[in-house]
Amino acid sequence: MLQPTDAKLSARHFRHLALCTALLFTPLLSASEVVVAERVGMSSERLALLDSNLERFIGESRLAGQVYLVMRHGEVVAHEANGLQDISQKTPMRHDTLFRIASQTKAITSLGIMMLQERGQLDINAPLSRYLPEWSDMQVAIADDNGGYTLEPARREITLRHLLTHTGGMSYGTGPAAKAWAEAKMQGWYFADREESVSDTIARMAALPLDAHPGEQWIYGYNTDILGAVIEAVSGDDLATFFSDNILNPLNMVDTHFYLPESKSGRLATVYRPAAGGGIEARPERNGMNSQGLYDEGPRQSYSGGAGLLSTARDYARFLQMTLNGGELDGVRLVSRKTIELMTTDHLGDIEFRPGQGFGLGFSIATDLGLRGTLGSVGEYAWGGAYHSVYWVDPVEDLVVVYLTQIIPAPGLDDHITLRNGVYQAIID
C-alpha cells in the first residue's frame, strides 16, 4: 500500500495492518491465517526495514511502484504494495495489481512439459523432432572472419532437455545468422502482436539456422517458446487451455492470464523507462518488446510459453510454494517430488553459465555461494522477467520470494540485491 513517509506506523503495527489488508482482499496462499513473522523465525522489525529500503526507490523516482511477497514455512510474512500502479492517474499499487511477468512464464511451461512426461506422453531426453518433425536435420551458422557465416549440420539432434536448460542452440535471433532471423521476423521474446498461433510461428522458425550445436552452450532464447509448441502438439490443447486446466485452475491462480480479461482492465500496472532528464516516464509505445505490449488489446492469438503471462505476486507465490512442497499445494498434487528434484538439479555439467550457478529445468540453480557472492543457499532456484521482476525459492530456508515491478530497461537499479539482503537479514532463528 502507498505509505506517507512522514506518518509511518510503528514497524509491528504496520506489519499487522499490511498483512490483515492482504487477508481481507486477497485469498491466502496456503495458510489459514496471516502470521506474525517471529512465528516462523523472521523479524517483523527487520522486515519493516526491508520495506523502508525498497520504498526508497519509489521516493527517488527510480520506480513507480512494486509488490513483493515473502513466505517462510508456507506462511506469508510480508505482502506489500508500495508506490503507484500508474503515476499519471495517481492509481495506488495494490496487492492484486497485475504485472507482465515475461520470462517468469518459463517455469510454468517447464512444469507443463514435466507433467506430460509423468503422464507418459513425452520423454524430455527424446529428440524435439519426435514431437515437432520440422525440427530435424538442423543446420548451425558458424561465423566467419568477414561478418558472414557458413552452415554445417548439427552434431546432434535437439532434445527437450536441451530446451529446458537453454542449450538447444538458439538465441532470440541475434546469432551469426541474425539477418536471416530478422528477415523471417523472428527476433526478440515478444509474441503478443502475432496473428498466428505459437505453434505456427515455431514451425516456421525451424527453417532458420541455429547459433550453436545443441547441448554445447547455454544460450538464452526461444527454447521455452518451442516447448510451448510441444505442449500444444502433445496435449492437443492450445497453451492457454493447457495451463488453465492443468496448472492455473488446480492451483487457484485466479489472476494469471496470457491476455488481460476485460473485467480486470484497471489492474494492469503501467510500464516505465528511465527518463532522459532523470526520474522515470511511462513508455508511450503500445507494441513491441520495449512497450506497454498488446496484452489488453490486439490479436490475442499467440500464447508465448517463454514470456507471455500476466500475473500477481499472490498467484506466482502459489506456483512457487507448490514446487517447494515437492509438487503439491493445498492437497492438490501436480507432479511428484522426484520430478521437482530433477527440475531443481543443475543439468549443465561443464557448460559455462554464471559463477556459482548452474541451470535446472526452467531456472538457475545456486551451486556455490562463494563464487556467486550473494546471500542465499546452495540449491536455491530463481529467475526473473524482462520488466525487472524476480523470484527465488530457497529450500534450505523454506523460503519463497516474489518481487514485481514494471520498468524496461532498468540500468543501475539495485533493488534486487536490496531485496535479497533485506530478506535474509530478517531471518532470526
pLDDT in tens, 157-194: 999 999 999 999 999 999 999 999 999 999 999 999 99
pLDDT in tens, 38-72: 999 999 999 999 999 999 999 999 999 999 999 99
Q: What is the pLDDT of residue 20?
A: 41
Q: 111 in a domain, yes or no?
A: yes
Q: What is the pLDDT of residue 21?
A: 39
Percent of the chain topping pLDDT 70: 92
Q: What is the pLDDT of residue 131?
A: 98
Q: Are 230 and 112 in contact (CB under 8 A)?
A: no
Q: What is the pLDDT of residue 35?
A: 77
Q: What is the pLDDT of residue 379?
A: 98
Q: 138 in a domain, yes or no?
A: yes
Q: 84 in a domain, yes or no?
A: no
Q: What is the pLDDT of residue 11?
A: 36
- Give the separation between CA 233 and CA 187, rounded to whole angstroms: 23
Mean pLDDT across 379-395:
98
pLDDT in tens, 308-352: 999 999 999 999 999 999 999 999 999 999 999 999 999 999 999
Q: Which domain range does residue 224 map to?
A: 107-235
pLDDT in tens, 225-240: 999 999 999 999 999 9
- Give the separation between CA 81 and CA 97, rounded to whole angstroms: 9
For residue 7, pLDDT over 80 is answered with no
pLDDT in tens, 273-310: 999 999 999 999 999 999 999 999 999 999 999 999 99
Q: 253 in a domain, yes or no?
A: no
- Give the separation between CA 46 and CA 353, rounded to whole angstroms: 34
Mean pLDDT across 355-374:
98
For residue 1, pLDDT over 90 is answered with no
Q: 11 in a domain, yes or no?
A: no
Q: Is the peptide bond before 409 cis (omega within 30 degrees of 0)?
A: yes
- Give the separation between CA 63 and CA 273, rounded to whole angstroms: 9
Q: Are 169 and 212 in contact (CB under 8 A)?
A: yes
pLDDT in tens, 87-117: 999 999 999 999 999 999 999 999 999 999 9
- Give the separation between CA 182 and CA 326, rounded to whole angstroms: 41
- φ and ψ at 288, to 5 degrees? 110, 175
- Give the separation between CA 417 and CA 148, rounded to whole angstroms: 40
Tell me the pLDDT of the chain averaged across its residues.
93
Q: Are 75 and 42 in contact (CB under 8 A)?
A: no
Q: What is the band of 3 on the pLDDT scale with cuts at 50, 70, 90? A: very low
For residue 23, pLDDT over 70 is answered with no
Q: 427 in a domain, yes or no?
A: no
Q: 201 in a domain, yes or no?
A: yes
If phi > 0 it is left, if psi is from -120 to 50 it is alpha, else beta; for residue 12 that is alpha
In which element (H, E) is residue 393 found?
strand 390-394
Q: What is the band of 34 on the pLDDT scale with cuts at 50, 70, 90? A: very low
The contacts of residue 23 (CB under 8 Å, 6+ apart) are: 33, 34
- What's the domain count of the chain? 1
Q: 267 in a domain, yes or no?
A: no
- Give the separation between CA 68 and CA 366, rounded to whole angstroms: 22
CATH number of the domain bearing residue 217: 3.40.710.10
